[in-house]
Amino acid sequence: SKEGKATPGAYALWPARGETRTNTPTAPRLAPGTRFRLVLLARADLEADVRNAVRAWLLFGGYGGRTRRGLGSFKVLDDAGAWLTSHATRDAITALFGGDIFASPQTPLRDVPGLGGAALQVGKADRYPEKAWTTALDWLREFRQGTGGQPGDRAREPGSGKPQPQRPSISNWPEADKIRHLRGKIQGHQPRHNATPVWPRAGFGLPIIGQFQKKARNGGWCDEPDSFELRWRSGQGEHDRLASPLIVKALPLADGTFVPCALWLARAHPPGDVVLRGVNSSAAPFDRLVAAGDTPRFTALVNKSSLRDAFLDWLHVRYQTTVVAP
């Protein structure tokens, strides 16, 4: 913000940020409290299905962009009990929908996300939606790049004891070291992971676009790779978009309170591999968290078969969340 204070939820708002170097203004966004009335017409034999679709949208979706990171979430003003769950429990949600929406499907998962077979965890209810939202958002931020916790139990090492201590230190995720190997930039920053490609955070959605910090703490410069982009490649070529299966948001309850929630939708990985754009021999499967011969530096990845399991197990232990499903 212009006042130098972090905007609440800034972690999810980076696409809207202004850019001084390119003279790009801050993107417009609706203020909290925007109201609208929704009117739907449906055939009588489809009414129950339409009602449940709206209920799912109100609980887990939103209006506008970045809804999977909690933007555009709703509060129901009229007849909330008909549309929202009374409690963030599986029994209460089942009662609202007239069936268990989280029951695992009898057919193999497709690469289209759904609620059947999804996982849901929630925190404590709060009367302030923004607080519930930022709580859920901070869960994801801490898992991906947080510096809290003991060595090995955090995503990044803190900068304490070094010049510019507020600046985080090295990442305990493997992607940065893999890029250094593939780009031939291992002299300036000795990798702690081997050269075999692996891109575990691709499971949160693609593309992943980033850049290395080339300015050293002592004022000099580091020989680091240039900016990078992770995509996925199938028989039809490279693809730059894959929606995240994870929704973090404030889930509204019928009594007007909100609970922070993490909903991991059930979805099969798309065909193909994750690749570093423009670099040969960089492909790795979506479900690979640790490369052969590597030692995980982030204990959340140890002995986990999927990013979903790694995140949800870490979340439950770290924040004592309530497991609603499965």
pLDDT at 22 over 50: yes
Q: Quick: pLDDT tens for 271-307.
A: 999 999 999 999 999 999 999 999 999 999 999 999 9
In a domain, 28, yes or no: no
pLDDT at 54 over 90: yes
What is the per-residue pLDDT for 5?
A: 62
301 vs 296: CA distance, rounded Å:
7
In a domain, 11, yes or no: no
In a domain, 94, yes or no: yes
Question: Phi-psi bin for 270: left (phi > 0), alpha (psi -120 to 50), beta?
Answer: beta
pLDDT (mean) for 25-30: 82
pLDDT at 1 over 70: no
In a domain, 12, yes or no: no
pLDDT at 160 over 80: no
In a domain, 38, yes or no: no
Give the pLDDT band of residue 4 (cuts 50, 70, 90). very low
Q: Which two tokens stand for residue 253?
A: 């309850």
Q: Which residues contact 220 (CB under 8 A, 6 or more apart)?
A: none
In a domain, 162, yes or no: yes
Give the pLDDT band of residue 181 (cuts 50, 70, 90). very high
In a domain, 92, yes or no: yes
Q: Which two tokens stand for residue 64?
A: 């506008």
Q: Which two tokens stand for residue 3?
A: 């006042």
116 vs 122: CA distance, rounded Å:
18
Number of domain units in the chain: 1
pLDDT (mean) for 70-85: 96
Name the residue range of residue 81's domain.
44-325
In a domain, 35, yes or no: no
What is the per-residue pLDDT for 138?
A: 97
